Amino acid sequence: MAGTSIWKGAIRFGALEVPVKLHAAVKEERLQFHLLHKRDLRRLHQQLICTYEKIPVPVAAQTKGFEVEEGKYLLIDPAELDELSPESSRQIEVHEFVGAGQLAPQFLDHVYYLEPDSELPGYRELAAALAALAVAGICSWTMRKHSYLGALQASGPLLRLTTLRYADELIAVASLGLAEISVNEKELEIGCQLINQLTAPFRPEKFVDEHQQKLRALIEQKARGEKITVLRPRLLEPTAPDQLLQALEASLQKVA
């Protein structure tokens, strides 16, 4: 697999142990801008300023604290934090298997690929079994002094590892206090027709980050010394509830 692995370990459940290498599955290619001093165009750097003395504080004079009430802190020694760090391990411990469809999207976080780290049997067999049964292995592991909960799944012949958020990190839908809205049968019918008209196989290569493309075009124009014209964005008015049916019918006619 191309790219340098970021961690090595082994998947373990029962008597099976499969050595693997962890690779990032996503890369960020967004343009990065630097903060500059307008007068001399030199780069700026951030400093931590004491809110009382209004002066920069060096690292040696910094400490960590937990605010128990406004303006009152419990000081935490770095050594105390080190003692609470999880023990170093190279094991991805599988605890149970669940149906892959049970993993709600809001639980999913970062995605990684797992590459086999030896020629020993087990890797391909595990990937094939996960795919055949359509299940995910709920697992945990420690990496860089952090403990993670994850889902081990098959991605074709490859194993994929996705970090999961814990249940107490999610916001319950009921807490949003959404009002119940009745659905008009005619609106529902036209809405379904519109969705059916626009239904297609998912091909992610069809879609690009237009904002990043515009940023790159802006930078290229400035590099060539061209004049830049700033356009005001067009704001769209939301559809009024009593105009929803007409808007759906108009949309359906456009794609028909």
134 and 96 both lie in a single domain: yes
User: Do the Cβ atoms of 124 and 171 come closer than 8 Å?
Assistant: no
pLDDT in tens, 46-82: 899 999 999 999 999 999 999 999 989 999 998 898 8
In a domain, 77, yes or no: no
At 170 the three-state DSSP class reads coil
**pLDDT over 70 percentage in the chain:** 94
105 and 16 both lie in a single domain: yes
pLDDT in tens, 98-141: 999 999 999 999 999 999 998 888 999 999 999 999 999 999 99
109 and 187 both lie in a single domain: no
Burial status of residue 45 (CB atoms within 10 A of its CB: 0-12, 13-18, 19 or more) = exposed
Residue-wise DSSP of 97-146: EEEGGGS-GGGEEEEEEEEE-SSSTTHHHHHHHHHHHTEEEEEEEEETTE
119 and 12 both lie in a single domain: yes
104 and 190 both lie in a single domain: no
Residues 6+ apart with CB under 8 A from 30: 209, 212
**pTM of the entire predicted model:** 0.79
Burial status of residue 35 (CB atoms within 10 A of its CB: 0-12, 13-18, 19 or more) = exposed
**How would residue 256 be classed by pLDDT, with cut points 50, 70 and 90?**
low
